[in-house]
Structure 1
Amino acid sequence: MGSMMKQVPLDQKTAAWISYQRMRARLTERIGRELARVGLSEADFEVLSALTDAPGASVRAFALRCGLEWEKSRLSHQLRRMEARGLITREECVEDNRGSVISITDAGQELLAEAQVYYDQAVRRYVTDILTMEQIEALGTIAETVLSRLEEPSTP
């Protein structure tokens, strides 16, 4: 299939990649600024969102780490900070004393609900409201194509 695709000149590929990198960095910065309005970082938002998506708004730390695709130390530091701020609780897992169960608190749910409004507005303002339906479909197709490649075992 790869040989059937039209080859794009290297300079065009490079320009597209540079534009993507700039877009990603700017979107991350803008969305981060929106979330900061309610006192959340992007990492806080990711953790709280994952917890609200879980049954009972709680999940084992290992499953959370795998779902977020974070390193163990990053998650541990993040959870410690969020627990100190009263956004989450950590309890020992009754089935396995080595693990812990992470739950979102009422304060975490309230802050997430407030942040979600700003997040959704930012996504609409900077992405979905300015793209045509064809561009949105292309963006989805591109994302799924790249994600499927990233799911494959990596080769050196």
Structure 2
Amino acid sequence: MSDWLSDDEQRTWRSVLRMHTHLTTALAQALKTDSDMSIPDYEVLAILSEAPQRTLRARELRCALMWEKSRLAHHIRRMEQRGYVHRATCDDDARAPLISLTETGLAAIRAAAPAHVARVRELFFAALTPAQAQAMREAAEAVLENLARHEPEEPDTAADAA
């Protein structure tokens, strides 16, 4: 049996969880209102917009998002229907789909980004001093490094349906 979290650990942990939930909900509502886009749509478009040639293998996109194959496949299908992305076969490996940002998708992320960035500043950064923001970043990076050390190795497979 594990020891319980101390009162201070419990308060910190629950605050982090509440902050994440409330912040994500507020940002999702604003993004939907401002741009008729979901947070997952925005994440996919943002990642692809920063990729070389605005294209990634489905597996690379899935790993960046930390999504299951089926979730990515369903979401990409919906985004294709709206014209945001295009799915193609990789020349090197026909089993590995390539996901590319379309001009429509690029226009959508460019239109959504200013309001979304403003809302992130308003709801997150405005509540923090520069020192608190730096401490938050350092704490998040330390936790992410610790998580990376605890992640199981994923088999390297070229094929990844999307």
Q: Percent identity?
A: 37
Distance across 1 between alignment mates of 2:93 and 2:64: 19
Aligned partner letter, 1:17: W
1:50 aligns with 47
Residue 94 (structure 2) pairs with residue 97 (structure 1):
yes
2:158 aligns with none
Given candidates 25, 38, 49, the residue that maps to 1:29 is 25
1:80 aligns with 77
Q: CA RMSD in A?
A: 1.4
1:153, distance to aligned residue in structure 2 (A): 2.7
Distance across 2 between alignment mates of 1:154 and 1:65: 16
For residues 138-149 of structure 1, what are the structure 2 equivalents within 5 Å?
138-149=135-146
1:86 alignment partner, SS class: coil
1:121 alignment partner, SS class: helix
- For these two proteins, the number of residue pairs brought into alignment is 147
Unmatched runs of 5 consecutive residues or more in structure 2 = 153-162
Higher relative contact order (CA 8 A, sep 6+): 2
1:59 alignment partner, SS class: strand
Given candidates 105, 110, 135, the residue that maps to 1:108 is 105
Structure 1 residue runs of 4 or more that deviate by more than 6 Å after TM superposition: none
1:91 alignment partner, SS class: strand
Aligned partner letter, 2:40: A
Unmatched runs of 5 consecutive residues or more in structure 1 = 1-8
Aligned partner letter, 1:148: E
Q: Judging changes above 3 Å, is the alpha-carbon distance between structure 1 residues 104 and 153 closer, same or farther for their aligned structure 2 residues?
A: same
Distance across 1 between alignment mates of 2:130 and 2:35: 31
1:130, distance to aligned residue in structure 2 (A): 2.2
1:76, distance to aligned residue in structure 2 (A): 0.6
2:157 aligns with none
Distance across 2 between alignment mates of 1:153 and 1:10: 23
TM-score by length of 1: 0.89
1:154, distance to aligned residue in structure 2 (A): 4.8
Q: Judging changes above 3 Å, is the alpha-carbon distance between structure 1 residues 18 and 60 closer, same or farther for their aligned structure 2 residues?
A: same
